[in-house]
Amino acid sequence: MVTVGLLYPGHSAEDDYPALEARLDGEVRLPVVITSVGEDAHRVDALLDLGRAERLAEGAAELAAAKPDAVMWACTSGSFVFGPEGARNQASGVAAALGVPASSTSIAFVDALNALGVRRVAIAASYPEDVARHFVRFLTAGGAEVVSMGSHGIITAAEVGTLEPDRVIAMVQAADHPDAEAVLVPDTAMHTLAIIDDLESAVGKPVLTANQVTVWKGLQLLGPVPEFKGLGSLFAAAGGGK
């Protein structure tokens, strides 16, 4: 059994991960350490504080007890606001602290698109538009073309964590675009791991969610990704990409 450790900021949808671990029946361990948060706000200054190296280092020190094989900074906005180089620096800092491979949710989105051979995407963002634009720039730097973006102006992660499945499905449907090959749902504060197949059925194409790509990337850091049912096209792809 492999262990993918997760550094997760604050409290919103962190229970998505133990629920998935239970469904996978012992195939993967997904221990979660909650990292400190200054202000729970989808605002650039607050997100730069959320993702600073000291907070990640504190979380990494706590996560060491779980003896992870790989580690993910399970936060999209707290990685993409730093840009591609800053996100890589976050991951390398965590990797150095724990002596295992590490990455983050923003990097995972880019790598998942490459694994699926997808370039044109639509974004269903819970964030305010100015924050969501940082995600667009991050994806564009990674070679994606964003053909449409829906932003919903939700300020706090805590509020995002309360969204019911029907609301999430409606957000994904509203953000979809005929030219998009996939729809991206970028917030790890949103509960999605139990409804990915429903999201894909609603739009008839791959849907990549933050918590899904986080788990996928954590596994990909260790080798070929197992094929797991109920986790959408990404996990159904042969070997999950490498």
Q: Tens digit of pLDDT for each residue in 102-143?
A: 999 999 999 999 999 999 999 998 888 889 999 999 999 999
Mean pLDDT of the chain: 92
Per the CB < 8 A criterion, the answer to whether 154 and 42 are in contact is yes
Look at residue 155 and tell me whether its pLDDT is greater than 80.
Answer: no
Are the C-beta atoms of 5 and 33 separated by less than 8 Å?
Answer: yes
Residue 239 has pLDDT above 90, yes or no: no
pTM value is: 0.93
Could you give the 3-state DSSP secondary structure of residue 17? helix
Domains of the chain: 2-107+211-240 (3.40.50.12500), 108-209 (3.40.50.12500)
pLDDT in tens, 34-87: 999 988 777 888 888 889 999 999 999 999 999 999 999 999 999 999 999 999
pLDDT at residue 213 in the model: 98
With cut-offs at 50, 70 and 90, classify the pLDDT of residue 98: very high
Whether 121 and 138 have beta carbons less than 8 Å apart is answered as no
Question: Could you tell me the sign of the dihedral formed by the alpha carbons of 166, 133, 34, 71, in that order?
Answer: positive
More confident residue, 49 or 158: 49
| DSSP reduced 3-state for 82 | coil
Task: Provide the 3-class DSSP secondary structure of residue 237.
Answer: coil
DSSP secondary structure code for residue 99 in this structure: T
| Residue 102, token pair as written in the block | 């590490």
pLDDT tens, 166-219? 989 999 999 999 999 999 999 898 899 999 999 999 999 999 999 999 999 999
- Mark out the alpha helices in 51-206 (DSSP H runs): 53-63, 77-80, 83-98, 105-116, 129-141, 157-160, 165-175, 196-203
| Burial bucket for residue 178 (CB in 10 Å: 0-12, 13-18, 19+) | exposed
Q: Which two tokens stand for residue 110?
A: 């880019």
Judged against a pLDDT cut of 70, whether residue 154 lies above it is answered with no
pLDDT-derived band at 240, boundaries 50, 70, 90: very low
- Angle between helices 83-98 and 129-141 in degrees, nearest 10: 80
Dig out the tokens for 21 from the structure: 């671990």
